[in-house]
Amino acid sequence: MKVYIILLVKIFMLPFFLVYSQPEGTDTIQIGEEEAMEAEKLYNEGVAYFHEEEYSGAMQKFNEAISIRDDFYLAYYNRGLTKYKQEDYSGAIEDFNQTLELKPGKAIAYYSLGRSYQKLGELEEAQKNYSLAIESDESIYLAHYYHGKVHFLLDDYEKAIDDFSNVINMRADFAYAYHDRGSAKAKMGDTTGAISDYQQAAVLNPSMYFTYNEIGNLLKQQEKYDDALEYFTTALRINDSEYYLHSNRAMALFHLERYEEALEGFNKAIELNPEYVAAYNGRGNVKYRLNKFEEAVEDYNKAIELKPGFGEAYYNRGISREMLRDPEGAEADWKKAAELGVKNAKQYND
């Protein structure tokens, strides 16, 4: 015989007391549908906590709902989301899997599994689950978006573009899809298409300062330094606390040979993030151009100290050392840079 449930609950603790007007002091035993209702009520309370971002409260409610009804798949699902929010991705995965066991084919459970795996860095597992989510319900645009994102991360830019295009077809106002498609196009060498997508993203969401940053980067690659500078400046107007925007803008100024302004930019980036190696490297480059080779070397040293695998800093330090009449030091730096994969360094290694 299976004991289903044993409940001995004081009637005055339950709202049903009011409904049934039980005499005080008498125990009322609630059976069957009543339990289900109680579980659902707890579940709804959990959802409310979740919306208020009170995740421990939500967790408690979902736990209680599940303790009453262990087949309550929605409670498992939302508990999984709560764990996800609490960055307990493995716990979340367990709950999403339990959801799918109780409710096979539940598309959002596949999607959320994908998110959890992606958070754990398991891209292939994430991608598999995004695919299952799309198979179960192709209208989940976020599944397409993250499917595209994983393709991007796996360097499959063509498929990423397809995914982001699907998202745009479903949600034409989703600026992120335009931005990310722009990045995929840039990776494919379609700079014009990339800039067009970035610009559309910026139109849809003008607060996306990082989109202006990317346009600036592409224009800089095209040696359109004045235009690039304008975009970096716009990005900084939106958010001047991002260290890398100061650094990237300083790089445009470097190419425009506006060295003093470039120095200011790199200094600001370092002030905002004293461990930002790209800014030390960039400042070293400016100092090189100002013929301050020893100071340049100091900056490259700092960059290397912070990031010992920073090949570009070795390469640049080699150039300054060459000018400091230290050919052995320069060659050692270029050799190290080449070992670290800096292509330019290889030609100076003989």
Q: Is 172 in the site for another protein (CB under 8 A)?
A: no
Cα separation, 310 vs 312, in Å, equals 6
78 contacts: CB under 8 Å, gap ≥ 6: 43, 46, 47, 50, 58, 62
Question: 25 vs 189, which CB is nearer to another protein?
Answer: 25
Residue 348 binding another protein, by CB under 8 A? yes
The reply to whether 149 sits near another protein by the rule CB under 8 A is yes
Q: To the nearest whole angstrom, how small is the minimum distance from the Cβ of residue 36 to another protein?
A: 8
Pattern 115-144, another protein, x by CB under 8 A: x------------------------x-x--
Should residue 96 be labelled a site residue for another protein when binding is judged by CB under 8 A? no
Size of the site for another protein (CB under 8 A): 84
**How many angstroms separate the CA atoms of 22 and 82, rounded?**
37
Q: Is 166 in the site for another protein (CB under 8 A)?
A: no
Whether residue 281 contacts residue 316, with contact meaning beta carbons closer than 8 Å, is answered with yes
Question: How far from 64 is each of 28, 29, 50, 70, 76, CA to CA, in Å?
Answer: 20, 18, 15, 10, 11
Does residue 81 bind another protein (CB under 8 A)? yes
Q: Is 211 a binder of another protein (CB under 8 A)?
A: yes
| 282 is an interface residue for another protein by CB under 8 A | yes
- Determine the interface stretch with another protein among 80-88, 122-130, 165-173 (rule: CB under 8 A): 80-88
Determine the Cα–Cα distance for residues 31 and 41; give it in Å rounded to an integer.
Answer: 16
Residue 126 tokens read as 């994430």
Q: Considering only residues 130, 315, 321, 338, which one is a binding residue for another protein as defined by CB under 8 A?
A: 315
> Where in 318-337 is the site for another protein (CB under 8 A)?
319, 322, 325
- Rounded to a whole number of angstroms, the minimum distance from the CB of residue 315 to another protein is 6
Q: How far is the CB of 350 from another protein (least distance, A)?
A: 11
278 binds another protein (CB under 8 A): yes
Residue 43 in contact with another protein, rule: CB under 8 A: yes
Helices 209-221/225-238 angle, 10° precision: 170
Question: Of the ranges 121-129, 165-173, 210-218, which one interacts with another protein (CB under 8 A)?
Answer: 210-218
Q: Does 48 bind another protein (CB under 8 A)?
A: yes
Residue 118: enclosing H or E segment and its boundaries? helix 107-119
CA nearest neighbour of 312 among 323, 327, 299: 299
* Nearest one of 332, 279, 336 to 306, comparing CA atoms: 279
By C-alpha distance, which of 218, 222, 217 is closest to 251? 217
Residues 175-204 that bind another protein (CB under 8 A): 175-176, 179-180, 183, 186-187, 201
253 makes contact with another protein (CB under 8 A)? no
Exactly one of 10, 12, 18, 20 binds another protein (CB under 8 A); which one? 20
Q: How far is the CB of 251 from another protein (least distance, A)?
A: 5
User: How many beta carbons lie within 10 A of that of residue 307, not counting itself?
Assistant: 17
Contacts (Cβ under 8 Å, ≥6 apart) of 334: 314, 315, 318, 345, 348, 349
For 62, 89, 140, 185, the CA distances from 104, given in Å and listed in that order, are: 20, 21, 17, 37
Q: Pick the stretch among 29-37, 123-131, 165-173 that binds another protein (CB under 8 A).
A: 29-37
Stretch that binds another protein, among 46-54, 124-132, 165-173 (CB under 8 A): 46-54
Of residues 98, 127, 166, 213, which one binds another protein by CB under 8 A? Answer: 213
